[in-house]
Amino acid sequence: MPAATVPNDLESFWLPFTPNRAFKRAPRLFARAKGMHYFTPEGGAVLDGCAGLWCTNAGHNRDPIVAAIKRQAEDLDYSPAFQFATPQAFELASRVADLAPGDLNRVFFCNSGSEAVDTALKIALAYHHVRGEGSRTRLIGRERGYHGVGFGGIAVGGIVPNRKFFGTLLAGVDHLPATYSREHQAFTKGEPEWGGHLADELERIVALHDASTIAAVIVEPMSGSTGVLPPPKNYLARLRAICDRHGILLIFDEVITGFGRLGHAFAAERYGVTPDLITFAKGITSGSVPMGGVIARDNIYEAFMRGPEHVIELFHGYTYSAHPLACAAGLATLDLYRDEKLFERALALEPRFADAAMSLKALPGVLDIRTVGLAAGIDLAARAGSPGLRGYEVMDHAFRDEGVLVRVAGDTIALSPPLIATEAEIGEIFDKLGRAISAVA
């Protein structure tokens, strides 16, 4: 059956993180995709400047991934996630552990980045509890951080509209300051020189609450959703040192940075800083089947392995943890990353990508451009009295008139193409975006 080209009814579907009324007046629909492109129901090609939503790192509808999913669907649709498992889940966990730094060797599966964050926060709290340090209940996030939409994630996150409608969130959360300062960092390629000292704010927070009450610090190594904010030089190493000094766990939320976005399997490797827990999602299956997870250091896992052997050690999990289709997709995706050297490719393309992004510097309303790996954030001046309108118009114009998909957050445009992009396609993405920025100025 061919895919329907016109939806039967636009009213029933309540779209996430979307202005529903504007969308339903003029929908933006995709019917299929291949490689670097989406195709609308009418057949129009749209160049993917965002890897979907930071997830299709291997490109769209790659044959080996599609074949693996088909095979798995025929063999085993579902296996209970509690008390039973599939061989593929073990295989995928060890493949992920191989890619992770240091002794991060234990993998807990879930279905999304939001679930990965809640899982990591719960593991951190329970870890201290089982070690007899149950007073460590505080969680420290960062202003402008995005950790998904679960209550744990929005509590430690720092994006105001994601928090302000939802009550008191989790108790006992504090926030580090954001690392971005336009005054000190505008138009930086890669990690800014200014801002490493902001990690020392953690010492102030520790002094305020006392280390004995703090369980974990969670940060994105590079803040993606809030507009691509690369970490200042040495910032993450300083956070690590302070956490070590006070027995606090360090969690890297690598839902965006995992699987090649910054030219390495994980950003932890790029920055030479090993956290205690890493969250991942998105790129693990190149977006093809929902999956997320947490990678824990050996000592964290071992701390739970006590008591009678028939008793569950961690009271946490999801019906679809390590779903067979996700595991099959994940294994095929990791093969593609390895065989096509896509992480290395992202690293090699980084200078060309950064130059292409900076070529938009002189366009009307461009206030700042930041790049790192194959990610770029472009801040545009807000229209007077209508924050977010210019960004929305650029995204809409880019889709309709230029045939390129870009992501918008307020008046910031974010780019993160699949890691298979050619130099010519990178140039094309920024040329198209540049024309869209000029057209709506």
Ligand X SMILES: Cc1ncc(COP(=O)(O)O)c(C=O)c1O
Q: Which residues bind ligand X (CB under 6 A)?
A: 54, 112-114, 117, 146-148, 220, 224-225, 253, 255-256, 281
Q: Smallest distance, Å, CB 114 to ligand X?
A: 3
- Residue nearer to ligand X on the CB measure, 225 or 371: 225
- Residue nearer to ligand X on the CB measure, 366 or 409: 409
Spatial separation of the C-alpha atoms in residues 34 and 424, rounded to whole Å: 17
Which residues have a Cβ under 8 Å from the Cβ of 268 and sit 6 or more positions away? 100, 101, 221, 252, 254, 274, 275, 278
Q: Name which of 271, 266, 101, 53 is nearest 179 in CA terms.
A: 271
- Phi and psi dihedrals of 383, rounded to 5? -70, 145
Q: Could you tell me if 200 and 235 are in contact, meaning their C-beta atoms sit under 8 angstroms apart?
A: no
- Residue nearer to ligand X on the CB measure, 40 or 112: 112
Output the residue with the shortest Cβ distance to ligand X. 113
Q: Tell me the CB-side half-sphere exposure of residue 66, using CA atoms within 13 A.
A: 8
Q: Smallest distance, Å, CB 268 to ligand X?
A: 14
Q: Smallest distance, Å, CB 53 to ligand X?
A: 7
- Residue nearer to ligand X on the CB measure, 146 or 301: 146
Q: Name which of 423, 404, 427, 407 is nearest 415 in CA terms.
A: 407
Q: Smallest distance, Å, CB 407 to ligand X?
A: 10
Q: In what order do the strands lie in the sheet with 292-297?
A: 104-110, 292-297, 277-280, 249-253, 214-219, 138-142, 173-176
Spatial separation of the C-alpha atoms in residues 95 and 289, rounded to whole Å: 17
Q: Smallest distance, Å, CB 101 to ligand X?
A: 18
Query: Which stretches does DSSP call E strand in 162-291?
Result: 173-176, 214-219, 249-253, 277-280
- Residue nearer to ligand X on the CB measure, 54 or 127: 54
- Residue nearer to ligand X on the CB measure, 86 or 416: 416
Q: Smallest distance, Å, CB 361 to ligand X?
A: 26
* Alpha carbon 371 to chain centroid, angstroms: 16
* Alpha carbon 264 to chain centroid, angstroms: 14
- Residue nearer to ligand X on the CB measure, 146 or 259: 146
Q: Smallest distance, Å, CB 359 to ligand X?
A: 26
- Phi and psi dihedrals of 169, rounded to 5? 55, -145
Spatial separation of the C-alpha atoms in residues 352 and 357, rounded to whole Å: 9
Q: Smallest distance, Å, CB 265 to ligand X?
A: 16
- Residue nearer to ligand X on the CB measure, 149 or 214: 149
